[in-house]
Homo-oligomer: A and B are copies of this chain.
């Protein structure tokens, strides 16, 4: 498993914020309910996202959480790296020791896969994810109404 629930939940929460961009703060309890995340756990994730500069939070009545920057400027790669640390499929791709190739001749395969994955994740913005979800909702409704 490359991603723990932390990454998954964190992205879910961010998609939720993106879908309510420009509508003022969204409360933790709302996100937790809509995205099926334990609220007290979501607390930690939002804290992490806030420290990483993706989220801005407002206290007091009517408070909640908002995107700290436009959804178009947040890509899945940076988001997940903030939540999960490195996404490297193998330890050695992060801190590469010289001479490793001699004892383990498979790094080239994984390096390529890793690069490819990062490229793909970098190409997906939060705005794209939110739009994709809206699109999905529309087709789901259509299917239901038939």
A positions within 8 Å CB-CB of B? 1-3, 8, 11-12, 15, 34-36, 76, 88-92, 101-106, 108-109, 112-113, 116-117, 120-121, 124, 129-130, 132-133, 136-137, 140
Known contacts A1-B89, A89-B3, A90-B1: does B109 contact A140 (CB below 8 Å)? Answer: no
Q: How far is B12's CA from A91's CA once the two chains are assembled, in angstroms?
A: 15
Give the residues in chain B near A12, CB-CB below 8 Å: 103-106
Residue with the highest number of chain B CB atoms closer than 10 Å, among A12, A104, A136: A104
For A133, give its contact among B88, B91, B105, B133 (CB under 8 Å). Answer: B105
Give the residues in chain B near A90, CB-CB below 8 Å: 1-3, 8
Minimum C-beta distance from A60 to chain B (A): 28
The answer to whether A140 touches B102 (Cβ under 8 A) is: yes
By beta carbon, the residue of chain B nearest A101 is: B136
The answer to whether B132 touches A108 (Cβ under 8 A) is: yes
Q: How far is B117's CA from A55's CA once the two chains are assembled, in angstroms?
A: 31
Minimum C-beta distance from A43 to chain B (A): 18
Give the residues in chain B near A11, CB-CB below 8 Å: 104, 106
